[in-house]
């Protein structure tokens, strides 16, 4: 009996037949990862001057994160959910947000311990997902999605020149509050993932 190639199938159309790995939602996820190095280059090129290049980088970051909702909505509404998408979409989120934490720490705008904490959590779970991918694909859970959006809000606030727009004190409060929420959810969602996979391992 022949095995249907994962590259064959529906790319955009609704239906009940298998969706292609090259479906539109998956392609959006791939484009998000491909554009991440451009975001990194723009932030580092601005070198903390908070000029127009920094604003463009912040807008690009927001667009890359916002499209996570777009590809997820398309996949669910058009029944284009694939195992590749379940695995790669969270990886795309981690690549984008991880890049944001790293560049801010390189510029001295964010303590390295926060970035290291986030990277250890993200890389550890990503490696585990890949290690068990042949047996089971674990989709992103709500705590994981909440963590991603909290990180996105905190990083967007840190990337935008809020101090010039609303003043240093309000901007500082926004940075502390949003980043604290992001760090707490990063830890909580990591613990939730470990708890979530225990029954599957047994």
Distance CA 55, CA 25 (A): 27
Q: Give the tens place of pLDDT for each residue, 40-99.
A: 999 999 999 999 999 999 999 999 999 988 998 999 999 999 989 988 988 898 999 999
pLDDT score at 1? 39
Tokens of 29: 């996820």
Distance CA 163, CA 76 (A): 39
User: pLDDT band at 142, cuts 50/70/90?
Assistant: confident
Side-chain-facing half-sphere of 79: CA atoms under 13 Å: 8
The CATH superfamily label for domain 24-201 reads CDP-alcohol phosphotransferase transmembrane (TM) domain (1.20.120.1760)
Q: Give the tens place of pLDDT for each residue, 149-189.
A: 999 999 999 999 999 999 999 999 999 999 999 999 999 99
């Amino acid at each position: 009996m022949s095995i249907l190639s994962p590259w064959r199938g529906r790319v955009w159309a609704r239906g009940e037949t298998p969706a292609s790995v090259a479906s539109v939602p998956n392609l959006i996820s791939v484009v998000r990862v491909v554009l991440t190095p451009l975001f990194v280059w723009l932030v580092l090129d601005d070198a903390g001057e908070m000029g127009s290049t920094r604003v463009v980088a912040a807008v690009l970051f927001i667009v890359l994160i916002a499209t996570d909702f777009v590809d997820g909505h398309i996949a669910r509404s058009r029944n284009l959910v694939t195992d590749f998408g379940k695995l790669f979409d969270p990886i795309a989120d981690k690549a984008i947000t991880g890049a944001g934490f790293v560049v801010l720490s390189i510029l001295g705008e964010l303590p390295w311990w926060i970035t290291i904490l986030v990277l250890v959590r993200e890389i550890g779970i990503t490696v585990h997902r890949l290690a068990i991918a042949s047996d089971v694909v674990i989709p992103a859970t709500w705590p994981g999605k909440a963590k991603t959006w909290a990180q996105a809000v905190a990083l967007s606030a840190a990337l935008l020149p809020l101090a010039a727009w609303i003043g240093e004190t309000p901007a500082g409060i926004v940075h502390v509050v949003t980043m604290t929420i992001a760090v707490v959810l990063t830890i909580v969602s990591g613990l939730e993932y470990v708890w979530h996979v225990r029954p599957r391992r047994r």
